[in-house]
């Protein structure tokens, strides 16, 4: 009986070591995978915006142990691009390995594309009329009646007025209401305007 128990113990230990060795070999096995990197632009001057880009993502082929690749593929891969010293115009940016922030043990096989082109433009300004959006038969006056807006070229050219939030003039004489940005690409000179009810 004792001999049988010893055999069971040895068999169990053998199975355990075999499984452990299998996982070790699998973990050390070299494999390849492609990872999509999104692009994050940082430190661009507040007076500038990115008008156009040649691509929104970079495809990177990496090689390394399977266990490292499995953990890496779960991450949200991003490439930070510093635009601190960039001005208006067209710029070519090379994607280098050190921008990928790879874990140790992983190797880059190919980056595609390894260069990207961006066009940076200056925000334009324009003065537009404020239109009150209200209920009631009484007349109202808006101060200021003209406000300055800032935005990209396309949005500025297609924006001629800015509306207020909807309001009711009943029982009111003088108050402030918020302006409604016509687009998320438009910045307003002021958030509120004064309403005077006649």
Q: What is the pLDDT of residues 86-123, one digit of tens each?
A: 999 999 999 999 898 887 778 899 999 999 999 999 99
Question: Quick one: 114 and 139 in the same domain?
Answer: no
pLDDT band at 65, cuts 50/70/90? Answer: confident
Q: Given 122, 147, 179, which residue is the final one in a domain?
A: 122
* DSSP secondary structure letters along 57-83: EEEEEEEEEHHHHHHHHTS--EEEEE-
Please tell me which residue, 80 or 2, carries the higher pLDDT value.
Answer: 80
CATH number of the structural domain spanning residue 111: 2.170.120.30
Q: Are 157 and 185 in contact (CB under 8 A)?
A: no
Tokens representing 68 are 């490292």
Query: Once rounded to an integer, what is the mean pLDDT over residues 127-151?
Result: 93
Pairing type for strands 167-168 and 134-135 reads: parallel
| Chosen domain end from 62, 88, 122 | 122
pLDDT in tens, 27-40: 457 888 888 999 99
Q: Which residues contact 91 (CB under 8 A, 6 or more apart)?
A: 117, 118, 119, 120
Average pLDDT score over the chain:
85
At 69, is the pLDDT very low, low, confident or very high (cuts 50, 70, 90)?
confident
Classify residue 11: in a domain, yes or no. Answer: no
For residues 128 and 149, the answer to whether their CB atoms sit within 8 Å is yes
What pLDDT score does 28 carry?
57
Q: Please indicate, yes or no, if residue 72 is contained in any of the structural domains.
A: yes
| Domain assignment present for 1 | no
Compute the average pLDDT of residues 113-138: 93
Residue 8 inside a domain? The answer is no
Determine the structural domain holding residue 54 and report its residue range. Answer: 29-122
Helix (H, G, I), strand (E, B) or coil at 13: helix
Same domain for 79 and 54: yes
C-alpha distances (whole Å) from 93 to each of 45, 53, 54, 66, 180 are 17, 11, 11, 31, 37
The reply to whether 132 and 106 lie within a common domain is no
Task: Tell me the C-alpha distance between 47 and 83, whole Å.
Answer: 13
Nearest alpha carbon to residue 58 among 43, 86, 72, 79: 79
Same domain for 84 and 162? no
Same domain, 134 and 161: yes
In a domain, 18, yes or no: no
Tell which of 68, 101, 122 closes a domain.
122
pTM over 0.75: no
């Amino acid at each position: 009986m004792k001999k049988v128990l010893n055999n069971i113990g040895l068999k169990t230990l053998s199975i355990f070591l075999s499984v452990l060795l299998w996982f070790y070999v699998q973990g050390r096995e070299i494999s390849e995978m492609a990872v999509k990197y999104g692009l994050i632009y940082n430190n661009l001057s507040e007076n500038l915006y990115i008008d156009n880009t040649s691509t929104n993502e970079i495809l990177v082929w990496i090689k390394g142990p399977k266990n490292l690749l499995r953990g890496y593929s779960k991450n949200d891969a991003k490439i930070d691009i510093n635009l601190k010293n960039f001005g208006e115009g067209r710029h070519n940016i090379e994607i280098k390995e050190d921008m990928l922030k790879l874990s140790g043990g992983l190797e880059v096989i190919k980056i595609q594309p390894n260069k990207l082109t961006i066009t940076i433009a200056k925000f334009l300004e324009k003065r537009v009329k404020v239109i009150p959006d209200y209920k009631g038969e009484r007349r109202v006056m808006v101060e200021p009646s003209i406000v300055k807006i800032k935005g990209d070229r396309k949005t500025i050219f297609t924006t001629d007025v800015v509306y207020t939030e909807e309001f009711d003039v009943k029982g009111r004489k003088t108050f402030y209401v918020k302006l409604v940005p016509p687009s998320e690409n438009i910045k307003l000179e002021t958030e509120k305007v004064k309403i005077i009810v006649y």
